[in-house]
Amino acid sequence: MKLDLNSIKKASENIKGIVRKTPIFYSSTLSSETGSNVYLKCENKQKTGAFKLRGAYNKIINLSEDEKARGVIASSAGNHAQGVAYAATKLGIKSTIFMPETAPQSKVNATRGYGAEVVQYGEVYDECYKKAVQIQKETKATFVHPFNDEEVMAGQGTIALEILEELPETDAIIVPIGGGGLISGIAVAAKAIKPDIKIIGVQPEIIASSKASLEKGKIVTLPGVKSLADGISVCTPGDIAFEYIKKYVDEIVTVSEDEIAYGIFHLVERGKLVCEGAGASTVAALLADKINMNGKNVVAVLSGGNVDIAILSKIIDRELILIQRRISFSVEIQDRVGQLEKIINTVVRLGGNVVKVMQDRNWSGKGLDYADVIFEIEVESERQAHKLMQAIKDRGYNVKVKYK
């Protein structure tokens, strides 16, 4: 096992001046809600938007001159692709990144923008990974693995050095876990500096391969399922990483898709931080009470912020509906001038914000003289929603809630 505190300290020197030392924020909101003293290590503020640059740069800078001349190859749907592309370009090395044809165009464009040659192949990651390995054998370029490489792990472990330098009183570090590279590096560094510190992994419950492997004491492969936390949706943990997980990781907990979505929403609204599903998984676990560290100092690693804007918009809309801050209801009104205005005035008077209004004039339960009007309204709280709809009912209208 080559990964140790010395190799991680060396990695810290290697990446200095290239990789950003990301901020650590104390969250009074999360601390109040969870009973722990919660700090957020914001790797979503890292260059390229995720922690992956740390490991990629450390791996590539350690290549021999002959290896550098042959270039590097990687396969990734997003964060690792961008990290390798950025690192290779900074070092003046050719990089070829294989990405699935289904990868978001924004991530493809970003990877090209960092200087890589992007080859899109296959519908899913496994297909593009196999193609990348085939081309690597033909070209003899160096394959930069996203997690199952000790030099990559050493780069990721520099996160722990930064945490314990700034917050030596840390009792636990909560880390997203997929293939195991990030948590391995963090765990080795943290345990070497502070042996009693807890290292807790978080993984989507629908594809918890690392948790299943740790519980069985051997590597387990699960069927591929796409989670909202796609960055840690890994069918099989790395065999090298798994040796460190067994030795240094105290526990792995899982979070549901709903919990991940709420973690993303909570960070946006209360923390003013944009995170992808994997990055928000640690906060999701805290909010869902999956981790009990009452009164302890806990650092949650926000591993990345590269979330698709369209997905983020859907999550926000969905969460507003679930907590009844966006409500949809229909009102049956007489189809005559001024009736719609009366209802809108009632909504506005009670502080509601009209998002959408759609009038169906084709037919109503009472005949052609009536119409159903569907409203979508934003409110400040569930209590305000009930008050608003009750006020409309009190004016004699038939109100039907469409969804909550």
Structure token pair of residue 186: 């963090």
Residue 191 contacts residue 246 (beta carbons within 8 Å): no
Q: At 183, give phi and psi (nearest 5°).
A: -70, -30
- Quote the tokens at residue 225: 């399922």
The position carrying tokens 């189809």 is: 335
303 flagged as catalytic: yes
How far separated are the first and last CA of the chain, in Å rounded?
Answer: 53
Q: How far apart are CA 277 and CA 271, in angstroms?
A: 15
Instruction: Please answer whether residues 61 and 90 qualify as being in contact, where contact means their C-beta atoms are separated by less than 8 angstroms.
Output: no
**Active-site choice (52, 59, 107, 290):** 52
Beta-carbon contacts of 349 under 8 Å, excluding residues fewer than 6 positions away, are none
Strand order in the sheet with 142-143: 117-120, 95-99, 72-75, 142-143
Verify whether residue 381 is a known catalytic residue.
Answer: no
What residues contact 367, with CB distance under 8 A and at least 6 apart? none
The catalytic residues are 52, 303
